[in-house]
């Protein structure tokens, strides 16, 4: 917006020979173009500390000078199609105003409730949109210092299906682990799960996932425990749980697009009914 304001300043005020001719207080000049004190209205929000106000104004003035210099240099070196420029400015202004109103209209009318049935239908209808680009897992991963107590019990707790053992494992992780993720219904990118561990250096992760559902390793300071409950290999279709949020956002965006189209159609139809516009020149 500021750049277009700069265009207006050149066009509207650039022809004056002296700032005083306008009766306004000039704060900066680039050749015959002036920036006036009135043009700085709104640059500084109310309540801004004086030192911040001065810095903000100085930054705006410096920016204005640079834009004027660049614009005036451009006008010397290239031919500007003024009619085309005006059309672009009008299109840009329209875009800003229309965007604000569309956003307001969407906030008022958007139904954000996306049912599981809607998500599942979209998933079934567009399987090619959800091809995995990375290996993903549902897994338990624990990193503990070698100095942690009772590390010999971790494997038994990880492999146990008993609820009390799962609770004990979570309590242990909260007390002693450097990092952990306990298996649940969520899927994770395998590379993200094991980042910055010896497991990240495995050369063939696809083969590793196929061959190991439990694995332990170590480095100089830590012990690492991994139990893979389920995995999906890249280039296969994602499980719906992994892309549920993505599908929800897709469906919400589709609704937004439909609302904008509906808004434009309603305004056009109403204006046409009330004869608020007409095409005066027949093509």
Q: Is residue 281 part of a domain?
A: no
Residue 67's domain spans which residues?
2-80
**Contacts of residue 110, Cβ cutoff 8 Å, sequence gap at least 6:** 252, 255, 256, 259
Q: Is residue 237 part of a domain?
A: no
Cross-strand partners of 238? none
Structural domain count, the chain: 3
Confidence label for 148 from pLDDT (cuts 50, 70 and 90): very high
221/188 same-domain check: yes
- CA gap 228, 272 in Å, rounded: 63
pLDDT digits (tens, 9 = 90+) for 53-89: 889 999 999 999 999 999 999 989 988 888 998 999 9
Q: Is residue 260 part of a domain?
A: yes
- CA gap 169, 175 in Å, rounded: 10
71/102 same-domain check: no
Whole-structure pTM over 0.95, yes or no? no
112/137 same-domain check: no
Helix (H, G, I), strand (E, B) or coil at 228: strand
Q: What is the H or E stretch that residue 91 is in? A: helix 82-109
- The residue among 205, 210, 181 whose CA lies nearest residue 193 is 181
Residue 283 has pLDDT above 80, yes or no: no
10/68 same-domain check: yes
Q: Is residue 189 part of a domain?
A: yes
Q: Is residue 214 part of a domain?
A: yes
Summarize the confidence of residues 198-220 as an average pLDDT: 95
- CA gap 203, 193 in Å, rounded: 16
Q: Is residue 107 part of a domain?
A: yes
Burial grade of 141 (CB within 10 A; 0-12, 13-18, 19 or more): buried
Q: Is residue 19 part of a domain?
A: yes
Confidence label for 4 from pLDDT (cuts 50, 70 and 90): very low
Helix (H, G, I), strand (E, B) or coil at 241: helix
pLDDT digits (tens, 9 = 90+) for 151-170: 999 999 999 999 999 999 99
- The residue among 183, 187, 185, 181 whose CA lies nearest residue 243 is 187
């Amino acid at each position: 917006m500021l750049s277009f304001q700069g265009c207006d300043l050149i066009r509207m005020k650039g022809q004056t020979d002296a700032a005083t001719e306008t009766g306004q207080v000039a704060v900066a000049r680039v050749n015959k173009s002036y920036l006036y004190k009135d043009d700085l209205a709104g640059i500084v929000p109310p309540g801004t500390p004086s030192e911040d106000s001065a810095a903000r104004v100085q930054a705006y003035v410096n920016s204005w000078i640079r834009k004027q210099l660049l614009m005036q240099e451009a006008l010397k070196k290239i031919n500007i199609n003024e009619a085309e420029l005006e059309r672009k400015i009008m299109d840009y202004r329209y875009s800003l105003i229309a965007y604000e109103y569309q956003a307001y209209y969407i906030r008022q009318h958007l139904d954000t409730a996306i049912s599981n049935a809607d998500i599942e239908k979209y998933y079934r209808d567009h399987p090619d949109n959800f091809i995995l680009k990375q290996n993903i897992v549902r897994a338990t991963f624990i990193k503990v210092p070698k100095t942690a107590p009772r590390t010999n019990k971790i494997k038994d707790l990880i492999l146990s299906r008993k609820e009390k053992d799962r609770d004990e494992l979570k309590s242990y992780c909260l007390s002693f682990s450097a990092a952990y993720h306990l298996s649940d219904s969520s899927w994770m990118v395998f590379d993200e799960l094991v980042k910055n561990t010896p497991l990240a250096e495995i050369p063939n992760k696809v083969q590793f996932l196929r061959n190991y559902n439990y694995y332990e390793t170590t480095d100089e300071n830590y012990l690492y425990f991994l139990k893979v409950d389920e995995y999906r290999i890249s280039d296969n279709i994602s499980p719906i749980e992994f892309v549920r949020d993505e599908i929800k956002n897709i469906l919400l965006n589709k609704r937004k697009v439909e609302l904008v189209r509906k808004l434009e159609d309603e305004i056009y139809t109403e204006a046409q009914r009330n004869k608020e516009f007409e095409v005066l020149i027949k093509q």
